[in-house]
Structure 1
C-alpha cells in the first residue's frame, strides 16, 4: 500500500517542487540515516531512512492501462527465521554443499530436522532454533575410491547470528520499516529457501530422471531445451527467480533465462570445434601459435572435466570433477614431472607404464592445478557446465535468437517452468510458512502510457513537427534541424574490387547525394576520390594518403571533412583501425559501412547513414518541443550520462573504462564525451570530478560561442543518469561519486542543483499487455512505448519507476528501471517520467525511441569503443590474457600510457554516433 503521508503533488510549470533538497548526503530525510521525512500517520515511521530519495508521490500523466508482470505474490512467513554463520574448510562451493548435505542426512539428522536452507557459502537459515551444542561437527564424504584409507574429515562450525522476525518484511513493504541489514538478510533467507527444492532434486543420486540441471546465483537451467550454436558452445533454457519487496507486498520475479554451456563429450572434440578445425594434429604444441594456445587457455579456464579412466575401482559415476587452469605449452610426450620414485618421467610414459598408452602423445595437456596435468584424450566434459566467458561476436545472434520470445510466449514458457521450481512441492517453503501463489496467474498492475514528445525538424521542411507513433517515425518530407555541409570527402574501400567495384561506388555516391539533398545536407564535391586498399597494410598511412590526395585534388583548399570506409563483414579490427587513425589521430570524421549493406542500398539505408554523419560533422537532426511538464530549454540544464565498462567474463584485464557524455546545447541533443582508463573491475568512476568539470566547461563555452549566452552562464540544473550500478552499490555512488560532482561544480563556480538517477537494465521485470489492442504492434504483442509503472512493483519507500520507452523489434521489450538517489531539483513523479521519456527520443542514430535516455546510451557506446583509443598494432589494443596481482599495476600504467585521447577537432563533436 502507498505511503500515507505522501499525497500526490501537483506539477509546477518548471517540473519541480519547492522545498529543501532531498536525497543522499545533506539531503535531509531522504538519505540513509537522515531521518526527518517520515510517515506522519504511522507512529513508528518517523525514523524511516532510505538510500535514495523518498517517493514524492505517484504519477498521473498518460492513459491508464492494465498490464501483467512476470511475478507472483509471496506470503511472508509468520514464524521467526534463525540465522547461522557457517565456518567451513576452504574448499569449492560444490564440496561445501555436499558437506552440509552429509551433515544433515548422516552426521546429525536429529539436529537438522526439518532440514535447513544453505546458500552454499556462509549462511544457514532454519525454521526453528537448532540444538547445535558446541557448534562443531566432524563431517566426511564417502570415499569414492576403493581404498583402505579412511576418508578425509572436515570440521564445520555453526554460530547463531540472529533471530529474524519476518514481520519486519511486512512493515518494510508497507513503508513503515527502514531497509536495514535485518531486512536484507530476511530477503536473502527467503531467496535461499525457494532455491532449495530444485537444488535437492538435481543433486539426488537416486533420481531416475534423465534431466540434467545447472545453476548459477539466481537461476536453474535444464536440458529439456538445448541448442548447439558452434564454437564448442550450446545453449540451455533456464528459469530465473528472485524474491523482492514491492509496494505493500513481497513478490517473486520469475523469468526465463539462457545459459551458455560447454558442449559435453570428449575434450578434444570441444577444442577442435572451438578452433573450427577437424584435424587432431593441430593440437600439437608445435602446430599452435601462442595466440591460439592463449585463446584455448582462456576458453577452458574454470571448466570442470572428468577423467573416466580413473574410475577403475570406483563406484561408477562418482568421479569428482577437476577444474582446468590452463593449457600446457608442452605435449604429453615432452611434459616432465617427478614420479613417486623421484624419477623424471613424461606424462605419456607415465600412462604407458599404467598400461594406458596414449593415442595422441604429442598433444598438449590441461593443467588442473597442484602440478597435475592430464592428456586431452583422457578428459571428458560432463553436461551442464556453464561457460562464464563472453560469447564470440559471430555467435551472439544465435544466442539472441534462442533467448528471444514474444511476451505471450515468454509468459507461457515461465508457466511451463514452474514445476521445475517446485513451489508447491517444496518441503522448505512449507516448513518456513511461506506460500507462493501461482494459481491465480501473474500479477496484474496499473500502468500508464505517456504521450510521446513532439519532435521538431528544420522550418524549411514540408513536415516541421512529428509525434512518434509506437516509438517510431520516419524522415519522409523532413530536413535535419541543423544540416551540415560536406565540402570535401574521400572513400576508402577495403573490400576486394571484384566484390565492390567502380559501379558499386558510383551507385553509393549517387545514393548518398540524393538522400543528402532530401534531408537538407549539401555535398559540394560530386566526385570524391575513391581508393581500394589492402587492410593488411598500414591503415593509418592509407587514410593519410587519401586525405593528402583530397587536399591536392581540391587545390589545397583543405583536407576531407569526412572519410567513408567500406569494410568487409565481421571484421572488427578494420573498424577499430579506421576509427583510431581517422577520429582519434587525424581528427577527421569517419563513417564505416559494411560492403554487403552498401551494395545496392536503398534510400532508407542512406538516410540512416546520414543520421550519423550529420551529427559527426556538428549538426543536429532534431530537437524536442518544450513542454510545461518537463522543460529542458527554459532552464539551463546539463544532462550527463555515465557508464563503466569492465573486461569481459573470464578475462582478468588490468583496466576498466569510464565515460561521461553531456549536452552542450540548450535542447539537449548535441553531446560531447570524455573517456578515461582506470583500475579493472572498479565500479566507482575515479576521475569523475575532472570529467564533469570538462563537461561543465564545454557547456559554458558552447553556450557563449554558439548560442551567444553571457560568458558567465552555466547550467542551473545537472541531471546525472548513472548506468550499470547494482542496488548494492547505490550508497557507494552517493558517498563517492556525488561529492565529486559537487566538487566539479564548486571548482567551476557553477551554481547548479543536482539530480542523480540510476538507470538499471539488468533486471528481469517484464510487462505483458492484458488488452492486445493496446500493444505497440499486433505481431509483436509488447506494451506500447511510453508505458510507465510506479505502483504495484516499485520500491516500498524510495522514488523509482519502470519505463518502457521503446517499441521492440524482437521478443519482449525490457523496461528500464530508474531509481532517483538524490534530487535538489525537487522533481515530481510526472516531470521526471516525462523528462526521461523525452530523452529517449533524441538518440541521433535512429528515427525510433530507444530503451534508455540518449546520453546514457552514448556513454555505453563510448565505453564499448575504448579500443579505438589504442594503436591497433600495440599490445595494449589486444586482450592481455590472465594477469597475476604483481602484473596488474604495471599493466594498468601501460594501458594509461598507450591510451590516446580524442583529437581536438573531434572533441566537440559526436564522433561516437
Structure 2
C-alpha cells in the first residue's frame, strides 16, 4: 500500500469485487487502566438493592376510547382515566395490584392480572363534555362548550409480554445474565414508575426529567424562563443497578397575562407595537386559562378581526325573538355578560375552538397556564443568560441532590416496594485516577508541562509561524484607531515570532451605511476594501458590538464561502497583550501555522500510531432549530501530516433534516466517488509522505446507545467502500469511539468544595457492566460543576491497551490550536467537527 504512487480512483466499471460490507459487534471491556494518581471521588449515582430479584413484570397493552369509539389522546386525560380505573376496579378485578402506566398505550404490573384481557367502563367525574349551548361567542349556532359533566370511557387491556426483573442484574465478572434487549425492557419499567410518580405530583415531564413548579425561575428574557428540577433514571453499572439523579433545567413560557407575555416576547413597550402575525404563530397550541370561567383551553389561532369588530351568532333567549339568532360582537357580549374588555377591545381575540367552530375570547380575559415548554431555539443572549444564572458550584449541587433523595424517597413508591427495591440515600463512592498532562512544545524548542489544564504564551514563541502579508483592516463603526490596533498587533506578533507586515489597506465604513441591512453593509464594505487591495491574504474585521453582532454571520458567510478570504473578527474594548495573543493564535492557525505541538509528536512516540499510518476522524451532525425544516449539516475532520495528530482538514455536507447517521461518507456518481471520505483520504495521502492509512480512529458524537450499531454497520462500512473504491483490496483497522456530553453523571471530589482536577478518569464501578466505556474530565472547571465526557469504545481493531487509549484521548485535549486550555471534550477531532457544524457557515461548499 505504501508503495503506491498515488491515490487514484478506480473506474466504476472496475469496482472491486471483494466484499466491502462487514458486520461489527460492539466490543466488550477487556480491562481497566491504572495510569495516573489515585483520587477518591463521589458521583451522583445512588446504589439500588433488589431484595426480590425473581419478580416478573407483566406488560399489557392499553386502548382507551370514548363512548363513540374515538381514541382518547393526551397523557394527562389517560392518567386520570387509569387512576379512576384503579379506584373503581382494583380490589375486585385487579387483585389490588399496583399499575405502572406510561400515560399512553402500555402498563405494567408485578405478577399477572387475573385475566389476559379486560374491558372496563370508567366514568370520569369532572371531565370535559360537549353539549349544545348558546352563551358562548362562537361562530355558529350549535356550539361546543366545555362543561363539568360525567363522561364514560372504554378501557381495553390485553396481555403482551413477561419481563423478568433479574435481567437488570449482572454477575461480578460483568457478564449479562440475559440479552441486552431484555435488560433495557426491565429498566424501562422502572423508569416509567419514576415518571408516574412525577405525574402524580403534577410535574412537567421532559423525557426522564421532571419539573414540578416555576418557583425561583431563571429569567432569560423574551417571555421565557428557565426552571430547575431533577433528572432521574436507572442505570446498569458494573456494581449493579444505580439511580442517577442530576439537576436539570428546561425552558417554559412565562405564565400570566397573555398581553404581558407578548410584550416581553417581542421586546416592545406597548400593545400597539405587537406584531399580531408573529403573535398568532407564537400562541398557537398554547394553553390558556379563561379567568371569567376558570377553565383551560388550547389556542388554535387569532380572530381575523379585532374584538370590537369580530361578530358571532348568538341565540336570543327571551322576548318576541326568543330562539332566533342575532349577530353580536365579542366585545359587546363580554361587556354585557361579564365585564368590559376595554384593554383588548382593539386587539384580536384568542380562538380556542375548533377549525370549523371558532370560539373567541378577549385577550385580557386569558392567562398562560404554567409549565408550558418553550421548544424554540434560544437567542445567543438568552443562552448566555441561562448558562450564567443556572450554574451551581460542586458543593451546592451535592447538597441539592442529597436533599432530593430525602425529599422524594423514590423507593417508598408502592410499585417499587413490591419489587423489593431500596435505594441508598448517599452518593456512590468511587476511586478515580488523575492522568498526567502531556508536555507541549513551543518555538525555540521550549517544552512546557501545563499546570491545572492551562498554559500561556508569555515569553514564548509559536512553533511554526505563518507570516501575515498583504492584509487589510476593516472597521464597522467601532470607535478605535485602526493604525494603533495594527501596530499593537505587529508588536505582539514580533514577541511571538510571527512576521506581520504593515496592512495594505485600512477601510472605515461610511457613516450613511449604518442603517442598511447587515448583508448590504457587509457587501458594501467588501466592495470598498477591494478598491484598495485586490486579493487580500487576510482581513482583520473590527465589529461594532462585542457580542451578538448582526454583522458577524453575513461577514463570515460572504468572506468564507463566496470570496475565500481568511478573516478574524475582533471588538477590542481594551486590547491588551493577552487579548492580542489569543487573536494571533487564531490567525496563525487559520493561515496554516502551528502554535504548539505535543512533545511526543516530533519525534512521534505515540503507541500504535508512530509506526503505522493512522488517520484520525472527528464526525458530528448539527440540526436546525426546532420547528425549522432546514437541512442538517454533517461535518467530518480528518488528520493530516501523519505522524502528527494536531492538524486537520474539514469537509462538510448537507443532508436530510434530523437524520443522525451521516449518509455522504461514500457517494458514487458518474464522475466517481464524491463523498466526504474521498477528500479526506486524498488529503491524508498528499500530506503524509504519500502513505495511505492502515489504521483509522473515529471519534463520533451525537448518537445515543440505540444508534451505536448503526454507526458501526452503516458509517464504518461507508468508509470501507470509499477506501476500496480507491483501488485498495484490504481493509484498514478501525477503532471507533463515541463521545457523549449529554449525559447526567457528575464527578465530585470527596470534599466537594471544588471541581475534579483536569485529567480525572473513572473506568470502574459506575461504568457499563459489559461494554467498554469510561468517564474523562480533561478540562479544569473554573465555574459551575464540571461535566466529564462519557466515552464508549465501540470497536478497537487497532488493539490499544486501556492506558494507551485513555492517554491518547487525554492528550488530544491539548492540541487545539486556538486554545490555551485543555478542551472539555477530550479529543480535538470531535471538537473541531462540533465547531464546524455549529457555525453553519460553509454550506455553499457542500
TM-score range, shorter chain: 0.7 to 0.9
Residue 390 (structure 2) aligns with: 403
Residue 365 (structure 1) aligns with: 349
Deviation at 1:280, TM superposition (A): 2.2
User: For residues 474-489 of structure 1, what are the structure 2 equivalents within 5 Å?
Assistant: 474-489=456-471
CA distance change for structure 1 residues 830 and 530 in 2, over 3 Å: closer, same or farther?
A: same
CA distance change for structure 1 residues 91 and 443 in 2, over 3 Å: closer, same or farther?
A: same
Contact in 2 for aligned 1:64/1:448 (Cα 8 Å): yes
Residue 827 (structure 1) aligns with: 800
TM-score, normalised to structure 2's length?
0.85
CA distance change for structure 1 residues 587 and 177 in 2, over 3 Å: closer, same or farther?
A: same
Verify: 1:838 aligned to 2:823, yes or no: no
User: For residues 302-451 of structure 1, what are the structure 2 equivalents within 5 Å?
Assistant: 302-311=285-294, 319=295, 321-327=296-302, 330-333=305-308, 347-348=330-331, 351=334, 354=337, 357-359=340-342, 360-368=344-352, 370-371=354-355, 372=358, 373-438=360-425, 441-451=426-436
- More deviation in 126-135 or 806-815? 126-135
Contact in 1 for aligned 2:735/2:796 (Cα 8 Å): yes
- More deviation in 697-706 or 120-129? 697-706
Matched residues in 2 for 1:338 and 1:479: separation? 82
CA distance change for structure 1 residues 378 and 508 in 2, over 3 Å: closer, same or farther?
A: same
Contact in 2 for aligned 1:483/1:520 (Cα 8 Å): yes
Residue 491 (structure 1) aligns with: 473
Contact in 1 for aligned 2:471/2:504 (Cα 8 Å): no
TM-score, normalised to structure 1's length?
0.79
Residue 21 (structure 1) aligns with: none
The residue matched to 2:584 in structure 1 has which SS?
helix
User: For residues 64-79 of structure 1, what are the structure 2 equivalents within 5 Å?
Assistant: 64-76=38-50, 77-78=52-53, 79=55
Residues 188-224 of structure 1, C-alpha deviation per residue, up to 9 Å, x if partnerless?
1111223433432x24xxxxxxxxx433221222445
Residue 192 (structure 1) aligns with: 192
Matched residues in 1 for 2:293 and 2:325: separation? 22
Matched residues in 2 for 1:152 and 1:544: separation? 69
Residue 900 (structure 1) aligns with: 844
Deviation at 1:378, TM superposition (A): 2.1
Contact in 2 for aligned 1:644/1:685 (Cα 8 Å): yes
Matched residues in 2 for 1:821 and 1:349: separation? 68
Deviation at 1:628, TM superposition (A): 4.8
Verify: 1:677 aligned to 2:654, yes or no: yes
Deviation at 1:740, TM superposition (A): 1.1
Residues 30-87 of structure 1, C-alpha deviation per residue, up to 9 Å, x if partnerless?
71xxxxxxxxxxxxxxxxxxxx211121112212222101110111342222221222
The residue matched to 1:95 in structure 2 has which SS?
helix
Deviation at 1:617, TM superposition (A): 0.9
Deviation at 1:734, TM superposition (A): 2.4
Matched residues in 2 for 1:323 and 1:616: separation? 52
Verify: 1:848 aligned to 2:838, yes or no: no
Contact in 2 for aligned 1:508/1:600 (Cα 8 Å): no
Match of 1:620 among 580, 594, 608: 594
Residue 219 (structure 1) aligns with: 209
Contact in 2 for aligned 1:516/1:523 (Cα 8 Å): yes
- More deviation in 332-341 or 759-768? 332-341
Matched residues in 2 for 1:631 and 1:336: separation? 79
User: For residues 168-247 of structure 1, what are the structure 2 equivalents within 5 Å?
Assistant: 168-171=167-170, 174-200=174-200, 202-203=201-202, 213-223=203-213, 224-247=215-238
Residue 757 (structure 1) aligns with: 737
CA distance change for structure 1 residues 669 and 324 in 2, over 3 Å: closer, same or farther?
A: farther
Deviation at 1:539, TM superposition (A): 3.5
Deviation at 1:308, TM superposition (A): 2.4
CA distance change for structure 1 residues 810 and 68 in 2, over 3 Å: closer, same or farther?
A: same
CA distance change for structure 1 residues 81 and 848 in 2, over 3 Å: closer, same or farther?
A: same
Deviation at 1:588, TM superposition (A): 0.6
Structure 2: runs of 5+ lacking an equivalent: 1-19, 65-70, 132-146, 316-323
Verify: 1:94 aligned to 2:69, yes or no: no
Matched residues in 1 for 2:306 and 2:169: separation? 62
CA distance change for structure 1 residues 809 and 335 in 2, over 3 Å: closer, same or farther?
A: farther
Matched residues in 2 for 1:179 and 1:590: separation? 54
Contact in 1 for aligned 2:677/2:719 (Cα 8 Å): no
Residue 83 (structure 1) aligns with: 59
CA distance change for structure 1 residues 248 and 790 in 2, over 3 Å: closer, same or farther?
A: same
CA distance change for structure 1 residues 163 and 266 in 2, over 3 Å: closer, same or farther?
A: same
- More deviation in 266-275 or 173-182? 173-182
The residue matched to 1:844 in structure 2 has which SS?
coil
Matched residues in 1 for 2:111 and 2:119: separation? 19
Residue 37 (structure 1) aligns with: none
CA distance change for structure 1 residues 524 and 149 in 2, over 3 Å: closer, same or farther?
A: closer
CA distance change for structure 1 residues 342 and 859 in 2, over 3 Å: closer, same or farther?
A: farther
Matched residues in 1 for 2:530 and 2:364: separation? 57
Matched residues in 2 for 1:331 and 1:799: separation? 63
Verify: 1:660 aligned to 2:639, yes or no: no
Deviation at 1:336, TM superposition (A): 5.8
CA distance change for structure 1 residues 733 and 195 in 2, over 3 Å: closer, same or farther?
A: same
Contact in 1 for aligned 2:472/2:540 (Cα 8 Å): yes
Verify: 1:121 aligned to 2:104, yes or no: yes
Matched residues in 2 for 1:810 and 1:668: separation? 30
User: For residues 668-707 of structure 1, what are the structure 2 equivalents within 5 Å?
Assistant: 668-690=645-667, 696-699=677-680, 701-702=682-683
The residue matched to 1:862 in structure 2 has which SS?
helix
User: For residues 675-754 of structure 1, what are the structure 2 equivalents within 5 Å?
Assistant: 675-690=652-667, 696-699=677-680, 701-702=682-683, 709-710=689-690, 713-749=691-727, 751-754=731-734
CA distance change for structure 1 residues 368 and 683 in 2, over 3 Å: closer, same or farther?
A: farther
Residue 640 (structure 1) aligns with: 617
Matched residues in 1 for 2:352 and 2:727: separation? 59
Verify: 1:517 aligned to 2:532, yes or no: no
Verify: 1:589 aligned to 2:533, yes or no: no
Matched residues in 2 for 1:733 and 1:329: separation? 50
Matched residues in 1 for 2:262 and 2:171: separation? 51
CA distance change for structure 1 residues 756 and 365 in 2, over 3 Å: closer, same or farther?
A: farther
User: How many residue pairs are counted as aligned between the two chains?
Assistant: 772
Matched residues in 2 for 1:652 and 1:448: separation? 44
Matched residues in 2 for 1:230 and 1:390: separation? 13
CA distance change for structure 1 residues 346 and 740 in 2, over 3 Å: closer, same or farther?
A: farther
Residues 754-802 of structure 1, C-alpha deviation per residue, up to 9 Å, x if partnerless?
2221111100000001257xxxxxxx71111111111111111111111
Structure 1: runs of 5+ lacking an equivalent: 1-23, 32-51, 204-212, 312-318, 553-557, 773-779, 870-898, 903-913
Deviation at 1:398, TM superposition (A): 2.4
Match of 1:579 among 548, 556, 571: 556
Matched residues in 1 for 2:737 and 2:314: separation? 61
Match of 2:258 among 260, 264, 267: 267
Contact in 2 for aligned 1:172/1:178 (Cα 8 Å): no
The residue matched to 1:578 in structure 2 has which SS?
helix
Residue 548 (structure 1) aligns with: 530
Deviation at 1:241, TM superposition (A): 0.7
The residue matched to 1:135 in structure 2 has which SS?
strand
CA distance change for structure 1 residues 179 and 513 in 2, over 3 Å: closer, same or farther?
A: farther
Matched residues in 2 for 1:117 and 1:366: separation? 38
Matched residues in 2 for 1:447 and 1:409: separation? 22
User: For residues 253-292 of structure 1, what are the structure 2 equivalents within 5 Å?
Assistant: 253-283=244-274, 288=275
Matched residues in 2 for 1:303 and 1:149: separation? 22
Contact in 2 for aligned 1:222/1:236 (Cα 8 Å): no
Matched residues in 1 for 2:794 and 2:397: separation? 32
Verify: 1:608 aligned to 2:582, yes or no: yes
Deviation at 1:301, TM superposition (A): 4.1
Residues 128-150 of structure 1, C-alpha deviation per residue, up to 9 Å, x if partnerless?
32225642222232135798996
Residue 815 (structure 1) aligns with: 788
User: For residues 755-794 of structure 1, what are the structure 2 equivalents within 5 Å?
Assistant: 755-770=735-750, 781-794=754-767
CA distance change for structure 1 residues 702 and 679 in 2, over 3 Å: closer, same or farther?
A: closer
Matched residues in 1 for 2:297 and 2:81: separation? 18
CA distance change for structure 1 residues 149 and 404 in 2, over 3 Å: closer, same or farther?
A: closer
Contact in 2 for aligned 1:303/1:324 (Cα 8 Å): yes
